[in-house]
Amino acid sequence: MQMKLWICMVLVFAVSYAQAQMSNIQSFDIIIDELMADPTPTVGLPAVEWIEIKNISQHPIDVLGCRIAKANALSGPLSSYVLQPDSFLLICSSGSLAVMSPIGPAKSVTNFPSLANEQDLVVLISPEGSTIHAVGYSDDWYQNELKKQGGWSLEMMDINNPCTGSENWSASCHPNGGTPGSINSIDAMNIDEVSPKLLRAVATDSLHIDLYFNEPLDSLEASNVNHFVIDNNIGVPLRSTPISPMFQKIALQLPVPLLRNTIYQVLTNGITDCVANEIGVFNHAKLALHETTDSFDVVINEILFNPKPDGADYIELYNRSHKPINLKQLYLANLNSMYEIDNITALSSNDVVVFPGDYVVLTSSVAATKRSYLCKYPENILYVDNLPSFNDDDGTAILINAAGNIIDRVSYDADWHFSLIENAEGIALERLHPNGNSQDKHNWHSAAYTAGYGTPGYVNSQRSSDANDGEVSVSPKLVTPNNDGIDDFATIQYQFSNPGNVASIVIFDANGRKIKQLQQTVLCGNSGAFNWDGLDDNNKKPPPGIYIIFTETVNVKGQHHRYKNVVALH
């Protein structure tokens, strides 16, 4: 009798425990590990949108009452379904259930949110309204120009790394275009060992600031005020509130108000991402109360209007004023066929402050810009939805403030490019001087070959000054091209004070015989370098001895300069 009673008690406890587990869903117990945002043209799966969730916990979970949310949409609740550990469930609209059910376990919800093709934020919400998992995707995550056109799902690579974004997602590799109801085709270990970064700090008013990070944070750590401090007598904040669903933003309440015309530093320490990587050296950001933007405070500093086929237009802005400027209060536009201002587009829906002397790049594809050019400061490259288009031959870029006043305007022409450039595709136009006339074609120049034909987000390769000197130097003086890692090549460094210099470099031996045409009429920036590996035009090593590196330059004014540098080859 006692044995039966004991068995009954154990069974009751087990059932109660299981029910408790199934009704208490913690963050990341269930993850969104695959989604079909753009199902057409179809590859092999039904032409419907769907989301796949997976139970990565150690216990069964009833999804009863869970919902799918977006910024301005919330689905109806899921009906009861016990999702076992390491199991999948497909979620779709009521009208799509019939075609998804034969593929794998599927449930429909009313008001299934439509998934945007370009970018969106999808959230799995618990019955209590808390975030279980959130994914903020973009079509750059496909990492494949063909697959981003439709018919392919986005898959998570490592389910144990659910917080990482583009580094842990890619287009499906399955011939059907996705793997609904089964293990992802790109399933692999992809351990996150990268520390989170503080991207920027924005003052919403004198007593409240928002901190933005590059990835989701541990919300418990992020709510500890002792992880933050602001200089200039502000100190530790009164309150720290991580903002759901992504927890990449933290709202701080300050003990004393910020002062105008003062730039502060915010320092963070000890906070971690959701897999416990602690913040490292990228733990500080400038902070200030932003000012109203007036004419010429911010200028258009660089334009790529004729990108390569796999590239994207971009506009670079430079803050030439002494004011912190909020991009949320600025708009970009172009002209229509009637030469009227058209396609006015907000630069940012979020507060993004550009400090004096800083650059920011606006593009329709961050991934394409990073892929095409050296981006020394990737945090300066910002995506703009519906960026106005700019013609390949001529057009107008107009910067407007919140009051509708024109801040800067550039009506460019392809003829502004350097005259010796035959094909300007993929070559940006750079402003020579921020104080110069925006409409003066002589204040613009093609970006240098040595800078990759574009400098998005940092100082231009072409810029002007009042000096007219130039210098070419070579180091080391003794070159030993034996691949031992020591003095294997000669570096020809140049420094010009004005833009538009074209250089040709020839190597001669001590008898004046040409052995190597190193460069032929290449467009240089204000500074840069070329390397000579010690080989001749036949890729053979010439005899040891003295060699002359002869550099000839000509600038836009037709002025020629010649430089002779001597090196010894051993």
Closest CA to 144 of 153, 133, 135: 153
Number of neighbours of residue 64 by Cβ within 10 angstroms: 14
In contact, 506 and 515? CB cutoff 8 Å: no
Q: What is the pLDDT of residue 18?
A: 40
Q: What is the pLDDT of residue 556?
A: 77
In contact, 470 and 501? CB cutoff 8 Å: yes
Q: What is the pLDDT of residue 469?
A: 55
For residue 331, the surrounding DSSP H or E stretch is strand 330-335
Q: Which CATH architecture has domain 198-287?
A: Sandwich (2.60)
Number of neighbours of residue 268 by Cβ within 10 angstroms: 21
Closest CA to 400 of 331, 324, 354, 302: 331
Instruction: Enumerate the CATH 2.60.40.1220 domain ranges in the chain, comma separated.
Output: 198-287
- Residues with pLDDT less than 50, the chain: 1-22, 466-468
- Cα–Cα distance, 47 to 276 (Å, whole number): 39
- Cα–Cα distance, 313 to 372 (Å, whole number): 11
Q: Which CATH class is domain 470-569?
A: mainly beta
Look up residue 196 and give its two tokens: 């989170």
Query: Has domain 298-451 been given CATH number 3.50.40.10?
Result: no
Closest CA to 569 of 479, 489, 507: 479
Q: What is the pLDDT of residue 146?
A: 94
pLDDT in tens, 444-499: 889 988 889 999 999 998 876 544 456 899 988 998 887 666 787 888 988 888 78
Nearest 5°: CA angle at 213, between 210 and 219?
A: 80
Q: Which fold has domain 22-171?
A: Immunoglobulin-like (2.60.40)
Instruction: Enumerate the CATH 2.60.40.1260 domain ranges in the chain, comma separated.
Output: 22-171, 298-451
Number of neighbours of residue 510 by Cβ within 10 angstroms: 11
